[in-house]
Structure 1
Amino acid sequence: MTARLIDRNPVIPADQLVAQMVPPAMFNEVSFDSYIPDPNEPSQAAAVDSAREFARNVTKKANGGKKRLFGRKSNSTGIGLYLDGGFGVGKTHLLASIFHSVPEPKAFGTFVELTHVVGALGFMKAVEELSQHSVLCIDEFELDDPGDTMLVSRLLAELSARGVSVAATSNTLPGQLGEGRFAAQDFLREIRKLASVFDTVRVDGPDYRHRDLPPAPTPIDDAELTERAESTPGATLDSFDDLCAHLGKLHPSRYGKLVDGVTSVFLQDVHPATDQAVALRFVVLADRLYDASIPVVVSGARLDEIFTEEMLAGGYRKKYLRATSRLLALSRFAEQANTSH
């Protein structure tokens, strides 16, 4: 019988949370040299230069002021780089290249993963764990509520004061983070603080995941879905509703572990999500599937129909569009693998 994700209940010890903050496996081998700028988008070559210079400066800081009396790291303030651009222009590639280019210790995680780590460890413990790092790389910097914003703002202020440099990517300029979601004055004040941490570099271009590609693959019927799942070693087969219900019982920091070792994910009876909380949890799962390059095959609705027009018109629009982009890439990956057999 094919394995099911809903039968998995992964647990991650708190002391392993910072240690596992590394780039996804698909970015293990990337470098500044392997980023190929689009000749029609001059901002891409400029972004590579900025990222290289940032990595050089982080390395210089780490090597020049690494130790002081009693072995403590130099107290000089950390530097910041913010790569802003649309989906699929290679920002994560550049962020991972920065990570690979600077000295240990260092950490890499999405904004969501970072808030989960702080929540699990406690604020001061998280500061203590990260304060000796040369750099903290934060991918997909998205602010979903004022609490997370203030938490990360405080964290970055504490780490920067201790000499930790910060590199981040997002699809929104720092001064516009949270725009269209919350208007509380304290929230806006925190956003301005965050914006002051970073030097902003724009990365323009079309989403490489969709360049010259056909639309979303057509879902297959349930019988073929089950047959393909059963004949794929390491695959899982779940109903969409059952999986969404299971995700609601797991802390999102465990979603990566949930799909660890899975070769393909097969989902039955996919349909538009009717609840925002369900949709946002599925976004996190989509990110972890994409990080691990796990193909996705579905029956029911297409993967670009999960997030409703109403959701796409709301404050989480960019988050849903990114997830859709990634899910379509994974579904095409599955289609290509099936065609080649």
Structure 2
Amino acid sequence: MTARLCDRNPTVAPEALIDEMVPPSTFDSVSFDSYIPDPAEPSQAEAVSKGRDFVARAGKVRGGRGGLFSRKKTGQGVGLYLDGGFGVGKTHLLASIYHSLPEPKAFATFVEVTHVVGALGFVNAVERLSQHTVLCIDEFELDDPGDTMLVSRLLTELTANGVSIAATSNTLPGQLGEGRFAAQDFLREIRKLSSVFETIRVDGPDYRHRDLPPAPDPRSDTELEEIAESTDGATLDDFDELCDHLSTLHPSKYKDLVNDVSLVCIRNVHAARDQSVALRMVVLADRLYDANIPVTVSGSKLDEIFTDEMLNGGYRKKYLRATSRLLALSRFAESAV
């Protein structure tokens, strides 16, 4: 019988969460040297230069008698914020920063950072992370006032303790939270976040879809089942059942949910019924993309999960990023099966 994600209920020890804050395996070997700037986009070469400069400045914060990268704090942490569209290599640059600095260090998506703080408690999380040279935060975004207050406090505490912060996002710091909640009511906190970072814009087309055809057509249910049954490590789930199962799991468990899966097959895909379902699919898409797990489906195309209303709302950039990643994984599945 083909395995199902719906039958998995992973457990994650809270104290292990920080140890798991590392770049996705896709970025294990990346570096500043392996990032090839687009000659038509000068901002990309500038971003590489600013990334190298950030590494040098972050190292000096932890300098002292122990050498350039001593853990001894000699000043406040520095910040770098890489803003740009989808698929321009921001995560590549963020991982390059991570690899260029010494342990202890951490790399996580914004959502994962908030989950870690929630699991460990604020004081414990600050204490653990304050020993780090750098905290790299991918896909920085603020979805509600609680996140705004939490992250503002966290970064203020960490930078005061000498932790440098590097982040990527598709939204400029001054516009975080825009369209999702009454951002003006939390303007002081948002400005405090903005003051942590030097902002660098990274422009260019989405490399995941450069000169590529549109989303692959869905398979028939029969074909999908045959592929799942004949592929070692594949899973096969009904879309609605999978969405219901995701609602029972804390998002911090989604990474372990897809651990060791070789191919995700989803039957009867259709538009998400509401924002809660859609946002869980965003997190799942991120974890699948991080693990480079191909996805193939029946029903609707993967670029039809998020409705026009959703794509025109406050979470637009999240949904567009998830769509970009799911399409890349679906094309990967076309060549892998």
1:73-112 equivalences under 5 Å are 73-74=72-73, 76-112=75-111
Q: Which residue of 2 aligns with 1:36?
A: 36
Return the alpha-carbon distance in structure 1 between the equivalents of residues 154 and 185 of structure 2. Answer: 16
**Paired residue total:** 335
Corresponding residue of 1:307: 306
Structure 1 contact 73–132 (Cα < 8 Å) conserved = no
How many angstroms apart in 1 are the aligned matches of 2:71 and 2:36? 39
User: CA offsets, 1:290-310, max 9 Å, x none?
Assistant: 000000000000000000000
1:242-291 deviation per Cα after TM superposition (whole angstroms, max 9, x unaligned):
00000000000000000000000000000000110000001000000000
Q: TM-score, normalised by structure 2?
A: 0.97
- Contact 2:62-2:71 at 8 Å conserved across structures: no
Question: By how many angstroms is 1:189 displaced?
Answer: 1.5
* Distance in 1 (alpha carbons) for counterparts of 2:19 and 2:60: 24
SS at match of 1:84: strand
Query: How many percent identity over aligned positions?
Result: 74
Is the alpha carbon distance of 1:36 and 1:13 closer, same or farther for their aligned partners in structure 2, counting shifts above 3 Å?
A: same
Q: Which residue of 2 aligns with 1:160?
A: 159
| Whole-angstrom CA distance in 2 between matches of 1:253 and 1:268 | 24
Structure 1 residues 17-66: Cα deviation after superposition (integer angstroms, max 9, x where no partner): 10000000000000000001001000000000000110122123323376
Gaps of 5+ in 1: none
Q: Which residue of 1 aligns with 2:222?
A: 223
Q: Aligned partners of 1:172 and 1:332: how far apart in 2?
A: 27
Helix, strand or coil: the match of 1:63?
coil
Which residue of structure 2 aligns with residue 13 of structure 1?
Answer: 13
CA distance in 1, matches of 2:163, 2:219: 49
SS at match of 1:124: helix
* Displacement after TM superposition at 1:80 (Å): 0.3
Q: TM-score, normalised by structure 1?
A: 0.96
Task: Show CA shifts across 1:88-144 (max 9, x none).
Answer: 000000000000000110000000000000000000000000001000000000111
Bigger shift: residues 325-334 or 171-180: 171-180
> How far apart, in 1, do the equivalents of 2:35 and 2:157 lie?
32
Gaps of 5+ in 2: none
Q: CA deviation at 1:184?
A: 4.8
- C-alpha distance in 2, partners of 1:65/1:19? 27
- One-letter amino acid of the structure 1 residue matched with residue 62 of structure 2: A
Q: Does residue 323 of structure 2 align to residue 324 of structure 1? A: yes
Structure-1 residue corresponding to 2:3: 3
- The residue correspondences of 1:195-210 to structure 2 (distance < 5 A) are 195-210=194-209
The 5 A counterparts of 1:1-341 are 1-64=1-64, 73-74=72-73, 76-338=75-337
Quote the offset at 1:147 in angstroms. Answer: 0.2
Equivalent pair of 1:62/1:103 in contact (CA under 8 Å): no
Q: Give the superposed CA RMSD.
A: 1.3
Conserved in 2, the CA contact under 8 Å of 1:66 and 1:74? no
